[in-house]
Amino acid sequence: MKYNNPVIKGFYPDPSVCKVENTYYLVCSSFQYFPGVPIFESKDLINWKQIGHCLTRRSQIELEKINSSGGIFAPTIRFNNGRFYMTTTNNSTQENFYVWTDDIYGEWSEPIYVKQGGIDPSLYFEDDKAYFMSSGTDDNGVDGIVQCEIDIQTGRKLTPSLVIWTGSGGRFLEGPHMYKINGMYYLVAAEGGTEFGHMVTYARGNSPYATFEEYSHNPVLTNRNLGGHEIQGVGHGDLVQDNMGNWWILHLGFRQSGQWQAYHHLGREVFLTPVTFYEDGWFKAGENGTTIKCFETDKIPNSVVQNEKKCYTFENTKWDREGCYLRIPHGENYKIKENSISLKGTNITLDEADSPTFIGLRQKDFNMYISCDVSISDGEAGITLYMDENHHYDLALCKYDNKYEVIVKLNVGEIKHVKKSVCLENDNKVSLIIHADNNCYNFCIKTEDKEVNLGRAQTKYLSSEVAGGFTGVIIGLYACGLSGYNYAEFTNFKCDYF
């Protein structure tokens, strides 16, 4: 069959996967967004459904006023003796921890902290031992992939933290995962930085503390030399074996906005690439070591059909699962109903590293059409295309000094610019519309069944190459500056991808 990449679209970076019986479970980074660490499940590796989050309580996750692209980095999910474990880093507090659950659809435990530094922690289980590894500095001051054994009940270190591999020579060695395959131990990692030079590398040895031998053809997977190709930044992968004995790697990558437009604003996404083992036990990945947009493979039955949701509305979207908030939300400011959302604004704006009244969905494709009716009695409410507090485009209905107007605000770094302002005739409700393609967002309002264009802005100014950071554009509904008990009302939301 043929399948298309990415298999999970939008800002879902640093995927990690495990298989339990006939089901695959996958987690991703969430950074400053809440709830933390989205969880997906799949029966076929192609079609993924979000089933929840690992970090759903304030007690599990410290996000108060952290900088954008801080917070929760690169999780790993593993299953051992009937229990799921998710280990991750809160980069803002410089702490590695894990949580566990016996019910993947339920709540996860309080954090268990491990006194080993670095980032991107991972667990490997064997013979009642739990090995904890991360990318950082060991107890002797050596940099590399660091490992210790821990008491899985308490997180207490049982052995010193020691470097087990220093990588293949690329910068920013990170994202380690260990596997035992046919009696050998494989250590897969990422190098090159999570930009255009990203890559997957690996080594193998005969024990968890072996002198690991590097694969002679590293990197095993990278698109770093494919100039002009849409898929870039390939790296940070996790291996998984299907029920037919085939091996795969789920990894991140990003789509640049044009053949010669080296910008990406959708964030790092989840890609699936086939893996093939040689007779000598080494393995290769992808098409000549690269990831492509469409793979044709006999490893997945032709009966499997890749389905993709193309339309998101209030009615067909589980906002408590698919939606996200900035840092820890103030629950009293949100009323989420079956066919509407009501938001009460505060004096916290989108321009602050704080918790404005905001609920969003990740942008999943370049070409889209968004429409939503917004009504207010005071303040400001609308749709934001949000990369971070310094890079976002806002289309909003405002009421100040008893006058209603629609504004288009462009926020790029230190430049805060109202591109367009249109006064309304005492109308407290308006239809806001955004058209998007690879290169531009176009902002409109609908009056008397006609769309009135209010201007456009380039997508590249919301890209990681301009804004920095590790996230992607979120389509946010927001409110600010409302007084008293007044809520902004959002109805008839629709986001179509084409």
Dist. CA 178–CA 204, nearest whole Å: 9
- Mention every residue, 6+ apart, whose C-beta is less than 8 A from residue 124: 78, 130, 131, 133, 177, 178, 179, 208
Distance CA 388, CA 303 (A): 42
CA 325, chain centre distance (Å): 13
- State the CB neighbour count (10 A cutoff) for residue 178: 23
Residue 110: burial class (beta carbons within 10 Å; 0-12, 13-18, 19+): exposed
Structure tokens at 204: 């193998």
Q: 234 with 199: CB under 8 angstroms? A: yes
**Burial letters for 1-38: b for 16+ Cβ neighbours within 10 Å, e otherwise?**
bebebbbbbbbbbbbbbbeeeeebbbbbbbbbbbbbbb
Known active-site residue 465: no
Q: What share of the chain is helix, strand, coil (3-state, %, to 5)?
A: 5, 55, 45
Instruction: Determine which one of 120, 138, 174, 191 is catalytic.
Output: 174
Would you say 114 and 98 are in contact if contact means Cβ atoms under 8 Å apart? yes
Query: Cβ of 300: how many Cβ atoms within 10 Å?
Result: 22
The pair of three-digit structure tokens given for residue 282, joined into one six-digit string: 């080494």
Q: Has 14 been annotated as catalytic?
A: yes
User: Left (φ > 0), alpha (ψ -120 to 50) or beta: where does 53 sit?
Assistant: beta
Whether the Cβ atoms of residue 165 and residue 212 lie closer than 8 Å to each other: yes
- In 118-198, the DSSP E strands lie at 119-126, 129-137, 143-150, 162-165, 174-181, 184-191
Q: Kindly name the residue from 14, 191, 388, 389 that is annotated as catalytic.
A: 14
The catalytic site residues sit at 14, 174
